[in-house]
Structure 1
């Protein structure tokens, strides 16, 4: 059976990186990692398996048709360096004003290589992984992570004298109907349905509305006892990113 082809350069680079990491010894894993929780591509949710099998060849990133995979940096921890992580903020979807119609610009979320949701499609990241670091993944039963509403950044929650906007962009964008508007006309996650595809985070407009709520403001509010700000600050420290109104977080 023919497996994915890996270039000599990628093999050498990946093998060298893996050799360095192995030389550190398994007992040093947590000393060299950070407390950041990285979102992994489909089939990479077993963190121990991924870190032990991934040779940092970068093939999963290269073949991702939605450009949602990136390579982790040294800031994510030495053992995580050059391993794949998902980033749902590099691209965006454009919405036709006054409608619920979206036009894909360049992807930026995971469609599980099955844009028509017909099932049975091969995930390219998994098919092109030469070591089995990414395992078979069924998005109807498994999940990358789970969407979580952040009330500090969601523009449907009053902040700084604002009033709820009635925004439902994430609700309209979700291809799995995992987000609904509740009785207060705010988005609510159906956790049993969400599989962490990231489309909601990709389209969330809160980054433009809430840019002034930075880390300093979160620290000040959290220090004053505001639980929502403390939760937002925790997300920032775990991911290295300011929250959006809706964010995909890793779930065990």
Structure 2
């Protein structure tokens, strides 16, 4: 069982940066403030917010992340209004010619059918910010300076050819995730106090109870 717990602990230290809702506090501050109440998820009228899973890192699990396979963000800020802790703070109202503060940047992947046929321009046509243009081969190209990470292109791409990266990987990476996971797993060398107790806690989380007759 310790092998299973060790594998789980190792997996949780590999959590990746997530695209957070607008107004999210930075990295470890967000994790400290978020109480995983799901109010932002319920408040999103376009269903663009969902809970992070264990594959996103144990510490990040059930915190809100943008889920552009079910919707996109129009920066209505209803999620920030619903947040009770300040994990999401309302952003300043943009002026008539201002773009919303970016939450991520879109990237076109090799799955894009325009790379082979040049026949699909849906993301280019849909982009509200003019961040996607077409090159000479009719292939969409994203301008990271203009992209707000709204996810509309990702939501409508039926080939799943668009991925979103956090606007700033330095801000999105928590650093606390590795610390907390290592604390939970304990140190094999015995250099961490309470290591045995922490191993027991981690094991219990990934152990399926077996009934005995």
Please indicate the TM-score interval, normalised by the length of the shorter structure. 0.5 to 0.7
Q: Residues 80 and 44 from structure 1, CA distance in 2 versus in 1: closer, same or farther, beyond 3 angstroms?
A: same
Residue 141 of structure 1: CA displacement? 5.2
Per the alignment, residue 156 of structure 1 pairs with: 114
Rounded to whole Å, the distance in 2 between the matches of 1:57 and 1:127 is 13
RMSD after superposition: 1.9
Higher Rg of the two aligned structures? 2
Rounded to whole Å, the distance in 2 between the matches of 1:179 and 1:127 is 30
Q: Which has the higher contact order (CA 8 A, sep 6+)?
A: 2
Note if contact 1:171-1:180 (Cα within 8 Å) is conserved in structure 2.
Answer: yes
Per the alignment, residue 130 of structure 1 pairs with: 84
1:21-59 Cα offsets, whole Å, 9 max, x none, are xxxxxxxxx995433221111112612221010011110
Task: Please give the TM-score of this superposition, normalised by the length of structure 1.
Answer: 0.57
Residue 245 of structure 1: CA displacement? 1.6
Task: Please give the TM-score of this superposition, normalised by the length of structure 2.
Answer: 0.67
Identify unmatched segments of 5+ residues in structure 1.
1-29, 91-107, 114-122, 159-163, 207-243
1:165-208 Cα offsets, whole Å, 9 max, x none, are 421000011111111111221101121111000000011121xx
Q: How does 1:1-252 map to 2 (within 5 A)?
A: 32-44=12-24, 46-90=26-70, 108-113=71-76, 123-137=77-91, 140=99, 142-150=101-109, 152-158=110-116, 164-206=117-159, 244-252=160-168
Q: Residues 77 and 43 from structure 1, CA distance in 2 versus in 1: closer, same or farther, beyond 3 angstroms?
A: same
Note if contact 1:33-1:80 (Cα within 8 Å) is conserved in structure 2.
Answer: no
